[in-house]
Amino acid sequence: MSNSLEEPIEEDDTSDSVPHLREDNESVRLVVVTHEAASQPETVSQSEEMQSRNLLWWWFKALSLCALTLFLTLVFAKWGVPFVFQKVLIPILQWEATAFGRPMLFIVLLLSLALFPVFLIPSGPSMWLAGMIFGYGLGFVIIMVGTTVGMVLPYLIGLMFRDRLHQWLKRWPRQAAVLRLAAEGSWFHQFRVVAIFRISPFPYTIFNYAIVVTSMRFWPYLFGSIAGMIPEAFIYIYSGRLIRTFADVQYGHQRLTTVEIVYNLISLVIAVVTTVAFTVYAKRALRELQNADASESGEVEVRNEARFEMKNVDQHEDRHRGLGSSHALP
């Protein structure tokens, strides 16, 4: 009899304790919610304060960079430009006028543009000299023929050391992923990406060798490289002609009229704006390609995870079926 009486009492205690626990949980939740609601304005104010600090710091860095750039420009204009003209440019012009004839200079510049990229040497000075000496006609021919050979030779040499280059690129996975973007897609996609690489700040001397580790085909690489080098060739020729004009004016060999001064200034502004526009476009196009590649890789990962989950579900169902059939056996 005592057991029968005690059991209902225990059940009543548990039944009474459950509402108390629920009430306690609800009160705790209300306290937590009110505490979070009270802390939300503090977090918002802290985030706004951090944003204002970051904005002020960005403006400070931008103004400091502009001031430093202006200072260095003035220093270079005061002492650097005369030094370059007197010690570098004028001796080169005198050397090319006395030491070689124009046919020999044609060959020398062509060979330098073809061989410098093989040894990872910048070929910008040779392009400037081509513009100074030969102008837009022969200068453009020299630059395009020389740089085309200078892009093909590293590609062919890189094919012989493809495994070593692949191991070398593993140290820089981010750059390797960017290079891999150039080799994906159709013929036109490869052509377009290579042209973008040529007008972008990406070092093209390294690009010539490293591209061989991807699935890039030769003809898109060649024609994309030629298309990307055309704007750079005209910019180098123009800057070379402008440097020579300034040198002639500086040392009294030539006098510029007002129209010529205005023309040179306008053309200089157009050249700078064009260079910046090409660079910005190339960076934006590469960023879009990277974002597209990241989204595609994310979709592939989601698909793989979904397939893995479906596979686990199928295995689970098969296991249950197997257990059910084993229980059904006599």
Residue 139 is predicted with a pLDDT of 92
pLDDT at position 321:
59
Q: Measuring CA to CA, how many Å separate 316 from each of 57, 310, 312, 313?
A: 56, 10, 6, 5
Distance CA 150, CA 55 (A): 45
Regions of the chain with pLDDT less than 70: 1-45, 77, 81, 84-85, 88-90, 92-94, 96-97, 250-254, 290, 292-330
Looking at residue 166, its pLDDT comes to 81
| Distance from the Cα of residue 77 to its chain's centroid | 31
Contact (CB, 8 A) for 116 and 125 = no
Task: Please tell me the predicted confidence (pLDDT) of residue 23.
Answer: 46
Residue 202 CA to chain centroid, in angstroms?
A: 7
> Whole-angstrom Cα distance, residue 139 to residue 141?
5
Q: Tell me what pLDDT residue 326 has.
A: 45
182-193: pLDDT as tens digits: 777 788 888 988
pLDDT in tens, 132-188: 888 889 999 999 999 999 999 999 999 998 888 888 888 887 777 777 777 777 888
Q: What is the pLDDT of residue 293?
A: 60
SS (H, E, C) 58-104: HHHHHHHHHHHHHHHHHHHHHHHHHHHHHHHHHHHHHHHHHCCCHHH
Long-range contacts of 156-164 (CB under 8 A, 24+ apart): 157/118, 157/209, 158/208, 158/209, 158/210, 158/211, 158/212, 159/212, 162/212, 162/213
Instruction: Identify the pLDDT of residue 277.
Output: 82
